[in-house]
Amino acid sequence: MAGLFRPHRWQLTLVIALIVASSTLALATPFLIRLVIDEALPRQNVPLLAWAVAGMVAVTAGTAVLGVLQTWLSTTVGQHVMHGLRTAVFTHLQRQSLGFFTRTKGGEVQSRLMNDVGGMQSVVTSTATSAASSATTVIGTAVAMAALSWRLSLLSLVVLPPAIALTRKVARMRRTITTQRQRHLADLHSQVEEGLSLSGVLLGKTLGAGPAQSQRFAATSDDLVGLEVRSQLAGRWRMATMSIIFAGIPAVIYLAAGLPATSGGMTIGTLVAFTALQGNLFRPLMGLLDIGVSLTASMALFSRVFEYLDLPVDIDDPASPVRLDAATVRGEVRFEHVGFRYPDGHRPALDDVDLTVPAGATLALVGETGSGKSTLASLVARLNDPTSGRVTIDGVDVREVRLADLARVVGVVTQETYLLHGTIRENLRHAKPDATDAEMLDAARRAQVHELIAGLPDGYDTVVGARGHRFSGGEKQRLAIARTLLRDPRVLVLDEATSALDNETERAVQVALDEASRGRTTIAIAHRLSTVRDADIIAVLDSGRVVEQGTHEQLLDVGGRYARLAGAAERDAVPAG
């Protein structure tokens, strides 16, 4: 937590100086009151009375000005700290591997980034400075009280140890409840994401699951109500008891001031000044105890946020990256004795895969579901890293290349087309923010989608809608191809890019893919063998191993697994008589 404030240490030093100055200045008022009561009024000293009253007004004005400056500066620092924390969490989560997001609910991620970080805001922006201000006031007031009467000071502070012990107990209760509350908020976020996204609403309507989702949401929300009430009431009776005790201290002070053994010859002015100080002591003291409770409870929020910041990055930039220039790379891809096993996998997903794809050639990966095709292709773009062996581009291990450089060399198009809720222009430029209009139009033409866009009323400024649901599957796929082509990658990975399309749409998209693949090294995964027969190399995978490789004709002549797959595909393509 201290590390968050380290870049702002000079501003914080000034904030602390303002707090000390304001608290010290405020302590002058009780002494001015004693001066008025003991000196100015009994002696009818008008000039002294005027100066004392003017001093009181000046102290009030000075503390007000210092308070405004302190609030402005502390809030500015706090907001910059929050900005840095939000950005750090978001950036760190973006660096996590796909496996992390597969294991984690999307609502959990959003809740920690928004609810937990948002809940920390009051602690960062105001609670810390309030604690410093209260602590300074308490210390200064205690010193001033001791200067007036050390006997009465001891009497006033006798309740402090039990108050601190009670505060610690209440704080632990609040922290436990806060942890439970944030978990329920994360569940609520997940239910909102699952139930109110376009896909979730469609699923709910088609299955008639809307009422059940509403009941589930209501149950989680009801649990949250109980936790919020418990959080606010935790230890409230105990703290109220302490407030009553603190309020009774002035009566004890008046009694002690009237007894010869404890008064010490105290004047009326000193007694009034002391009781004023005592009142000023217990307000910040109670505030300090409440802040202690809030800080301890907020540790639950900090723990959840820092748990994400402490996550190791599985796939990261190398310490000494090798330069891979997108402008000069040829694009030869090699899989050298590659093996891969998922963390929770019972068997290897890939086992001793050895393949070479010459620059500009096309490698088609075929095989049954679960044979390892997508896993093998994912290694080229470093969506995963091999557990044994290596993948190289032009002889350079992809793990030795900066991720940003690799993304400029390797483009990926999958069957899961994701479009942002923005215009077509914004979606295309998401791949290359500085792309010119000419580059964007050229990419759209090569993806066979320019005529479609030009025919829309708003053209490239048409809003695609949530996840692109305003467009058909083939149209979205061609937009995704255009977006990838805008980066002009030398190596292109096509992961079943047409598997979810009907035959006619597939043919239109395949034309776009053929144009996109021209002159590039292409690794294509296809569920229909008709789309891979022209590939330079066809590799047949089975249980993570390459069992056959060659051209379409060579593999048919062998009469092995590929020939059987091709025969089955032809039989399925014959319409029923």
pLDDT tens-digit readout, 121-172: 767 766 666 777 777 777 777 777 777 766 666 666 666 676 666 666 776 7
Q: What are phi and psi of 455, to 5 degrees?
A: -80, -5
- For every residue of 456-470, DSSP letters joined together read STTGGG-B--GGGTT
| Full set of structural domains in the chain with CATH | 2-309 (1.20.1560.10), 335-573 (3.40.50.300)
Q: Select the more confidently predicted residue: 151 or 418.
A: 418
> What sign has the CA pseudo-torsion 135, 141, 144, 146?
negative
118 pLDDT above the threshold of 70? yes
pLDDT band (50, 70, 90) for residue 504: low
Q: Phi/psi of residue 262, each to 5°?
A: -115, -10
Instruction: State pLDDT tens for residues 460-499.
Output: 888 886 655 677 777 888 888 888 888 888 998 988 766 5
The residue among 230 and 457 whose pLDDT is bigger is 457
Contact residues for 400 (Cβ-Cβ < 8 A; gap 6+): 318, 320, 321, 322
Nearest Cα to 280, choosing from 31, 515, 496? 31
Pairing outcome for strands 410-414 and 396-397:
unpaired
Q: Which is more confidently placed, 564 or 136?
A: 564
Q: Which residue has the higher pLDDT, 443 or 190?
A: 443
Q: Give residues with Cβ within 8 angstroms of 330, minimum separation 6.
A: 359, 360, 394, 490
Buried b (16+ CB within 10 A) or exposed e, 513-522: beebbeebbb
Question: With b meaning 16 or more CB within 10 Å and e meaning fewer, what string describes 481-511?
Answer: bbbbbbbbbbbbbbbbbbebbeeebbebbbe
Name the residue with tokens 């997940």. 190
- Lowest-confidence region among 314-318, 369-373, 570-574: 570-574
E strands of 311-358, at which residues? 333-340, 350-357
Residues 6+ apart with CB under 8 A from 499: 415, 526, 527, 528
Say which amino acid occupies 284: P
Q: Which long-range contacts (CB under 8 A, 24 or more apart) does 220-228 make?
A: 220/184, 220/187, 220/188, 220/191, 221/188, 223/184, 224/181, 224/184, 224/185, 224/188, 227/177, 227/180, 227/181, 227/184, 228/181
- All residues at 6 or more sequence positions from 509 whose CB lies less than 8 Å from its CB, including other chains: 448, 474, 477, 478, 481, 497, 498, 501
**Is residue 411 within a helix (H) or strand (E), and if so which, with residue range?**
strand 410-414
> Could you read off the pLDDT of 305-329 as tens digits, one per residue?
888 888 888 888 888 888 888 888 9
Bridge partners for 357 per DSSP: 333
* Phi, psi for 546 (deg, rounded to 5): -85, 115
> Taking residues 283-309, what's their average pLDDT?
74
Q: E strands within 86-183?
A: none
Distance in angstroms (rounded) separating the CA atoms of residues 243 and 452? 72
pLDDT class of 235 with cuts at 50, 70, 90: low
Q: How is residue 186 annotated by DSSP?
A: H
Give the pLDDT mean for 263-288.
67
Judged by phi (left if over 0) then psi (alpha if -120 to 50, else beta), residue 470 lies in alpha
Confidence of residue 241 (pLDDT cuts 50, 70, 90): low
Q: Are 139 and 218 in contact (CB under 8 A)?
A: no
Tell me how crowded residue 169 is: count the other CB atoms within 10 A of its CB.
12
Which whole-number Å values give the CA distances from 128 to 111, 134, 171, in the listed order? 24, 10, 16
Neighbours of 313 (CB within 10 A): 11
pLDDT digits (tens, 9 = 90+) for 174-230: 777 777 777 777 777 677 766 666 566 655 655 566 677 777 778 877 777 777 777
Contact 471, 464 (CB under 8 A): yes
d(CA 186, CA 26): 45
Mean pLDDT score, 7-21: 83
Mean pLDDT across the stretch 246-259? 66
Mean pLDDT of 259-284: 66
Query: What does the pLDDT read at residue 574?
Result: 46
Mean pLDDT score across all residues of the chain: 78
Nearest to 297 by CA among 127, 175, 165: 175
Phi, psi angle pair for 538, to nearest 5°? -120, 125
| Helix (H) / strand (E) containing 213 | helix 210-233
Q: Under DSSP, is residue 361 helix (H, G, I), strand (E, B) or coil? A: coil
Q: Give me the pLDDT at residue 575, please.
A: 47
How far apart are the C-alpha atoms of 491 and 381, rounded to whole Å?
9
Report the DSSP beta bridge partners of residue 336: 390
Percentage of the residues of the chain whose pLDDT score is greater than 70: 75
For the record, the structure tokens of 148 come out as 């007036």
Q: How far is 459 from 456, CA to CA, in rounded Å?
A: 5
Report the alpha-carbon angle 283-289-293, nearest 5.
140
User: In terms of pLDDT, which residue wins out, 161 or 501?
Assistant: 161
12 vs 297: which has the higher pLDDT: 12
For 43-65, how does the pLDDT look when each residue is reduced to its tens digit (9 = 90+)? Answer: 888 888 888 888 888 888 888 88
Picking from 374, 419, 418, the residue whose alpha carbon sits closest to that of residue 527 is 374
Q: CA distances (Å), 232 to each of 123, 175, 229, 485, in order?
A: 16, 12, 5, 55
| Structure token pair of residue 156 | 């006033």
Reported as a single tens digit per residue, the pLDDT across 338-360 is: 999 887 767 888 999 999 999 98
pLDDT of residue 502: 60
Contact criterion met (CB below 8 Å) for 145 and 256: no
Cα separation of 399 and 572, whole Å?
42
pLDDT of residue 188: 74
* DSSP bridge partners of 524: 364, 494
- Token look-up 């069992």 returns 547
Structure tokens at 422: 């923005």
Phi, psi (deg, nearest 5) at residue 308: -70, -40
Q: Percent of the chain having pLDDT more than 90?
A: 10
The H-or-E segment that residue 47 falls in is: helix 46-94
Cα 230 to Cα 249: distance, rounded to the nearest angstrom: 30
